[in-house]
């Protein structure tokens, strides 16, 4: 049986991976924001976000409830939109 410090080390490794993946996701969101800026598209795409959330909730297995997963991803999507807005502002202010 694993003890508390061993389990916490495993959680730390998982958290390291989660942060790395979130950073990668935001890098992709930045690129998407650049494309949206070039195309004159809006940052918020309600239909896309709802489709994504439904897809993720269908994939959900394990102890995380659909409501919890949705809540986590709503925050991730909000961070992505905020990042894209910063990209859009920087693109619009270039000489």
12 has a pLDDT exceeding 70: yes
DSSP 61: -
What is the CATH T-level fold of the domain 4-92, as seen in this structure? Chorismate Mutase Domain, subunit A (1.20.59)
Q: What is the pLDDT of residue 69?
A: 92
Per-residue pLDDT of 24-68, as tens digits, reads 999 999 999 889 888 989 999 999 999 999 999 888 678 988 899
Residue 52 gets the label, from left (phi > 0), alpha (psi -120 to 50) or beta, of alpha
Among 52, 47, 44, residue whose Cα is nearest residue 84:
44
pLDDT at 90: 78
Tell how far CA 41 is from the center of its chain.
19
pTM metric for this prediction: 0.84
């Amino acid at each position: 049986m694993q003890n508390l410090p061993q389990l916490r080390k495993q959680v730390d490794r998982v958290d390291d991976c989660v942060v790395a993946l979130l950073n990668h996701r935001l890098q992709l969101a930045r690129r998407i924001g650049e494309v949206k800026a070039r195309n004159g598209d809006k940052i918020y795409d309600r239909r896309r976000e709802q489709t994504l959330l439904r897809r993720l909730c269908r994939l959900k297995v394990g102890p995380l409830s659909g409501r919890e997963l949705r809540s986590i991803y709503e925050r991730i999507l909000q961070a992505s939109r905020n990042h894209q807005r910063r990209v859009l502002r920087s693109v619009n202010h270039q000489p």
